[in-house]
Structure 1
């Protein structure tokens, strides 16, 4: 029971602390996601996007070391599959997005944007009185 109480209090404090942090954050992406995206964006400068010639200007072959990747901005896919798995554009997608002057933030999955994070922390855990004040159960 003591362990369960410790976990409950830890979660309660974490929710409250994160709610305060996120309420003051005004950017489209949470700080952790924004930081990851900045790293990816910097790495994308080492890759070269080659447009396939499609009419929508969405399909690219992105060249770099050790191999090439195919990016489809319209379908939000890359053969590397990092984008699909994380919801954050990968290095190859960022390279293609830079070529068409688009912002990677606009291509993140809805689950990794601030609105989703705020929904995560809109709930709270009710505080409880000490164990000595709990109702006694007739069962063991």
Structure 2
């Protein structure tokens, strides 16, 4: 915070007014196994439906539903045809940490904690409770480089310490519920007798219309 204050006082004042639990990892809970502080999920979804966003409402819903049904089916079939225990992206992260762990040396204290050392830096790891002093292990559910060094010292496999959230069975459960297909407009049943009124069209502004991205 002192560094932020030196670079931008308005940014410092704004962050002081926000709940620290919503923007800094130091106060994140370890239940959700997610350490993201950005809004990438919403941004990716908006980019994915960029062409559908400018369609009429009913057409937009129908097109998005069709894309979602296709995506759920493809994701489910891809994992069913795979023999990996972990999800692909999680496996890639774990492999990166395994490579980083080569620089760290671990030793067991005889109780339940490991001291992991690299140069003058020493980090403690508890494999029983799956925690590390850096908090990456408990925040993400994926063993960090320090934890993997301790895991290898204990002659165990790092893949066994990854949270169940990121394993094949949980992935398939996420995509196990089908999204019901929607009939086209020609098959709709209209039961109401109320007259359909045209929508209110606002006055057209001058100049070229702007698109908000």
Shorter chain as normaliser: what TM range?
A: 0.7 to 0.9
Residue 46 (structure 1) aligns with: 103
Q: Which entry has the higher C-alpha Rg, 1 or 2?
A: 2
For residue 26 of structure 1, report the CA deviation from its aligned partner: 1.5
Residue 128 (structure 1) aligns with: 182
**2:65 matched to 1:11?**
no
Moved more, 9-18 or 63-72: 63-72
Residues 62, 182 of structure 2: 8 Å contact kept: no
Length-normalised TM-score, structure 1: 0.88
Cα deviations by residue, 1:94-138 (Å, 9 ceiling, x for unpaired): 010011111011111111111100111111112222123212252
Counting only pairs closer than 5 Å after superposition, residues 34-113 of structure 1 correspond to structure 2 as 34-54=91-111, 58-64=112-118, 67-113=121-167
When the two structures are aligned, how many residues end up with a matched partner? Answer: 137
- Measured in 1, the distance between the counterparts of 2:182 and 2:63 equals 12
Cα deviations by residue, 1:76-95 (Å, 9 ceiling, x for unpaired): 10011111111111111001
**Larger relative contact order (C-alpha < 8 A, sep ≥ 6)?**
1
- Measured in 2, the distance between the counterparts of 1:20 and 1:103 equals 28
**2:175 matched to 1:118?**
no
Cα deviations by residue, 1:46-80 (Å, 9 ceiling, x for unpaired): 111122232xxx41111126832210001110011
Relative to structure 1, the CA distance from residue 9 to residue 50 in structure 2 (aligned partners, 3 Å threshold; closer, same or farther) is: same
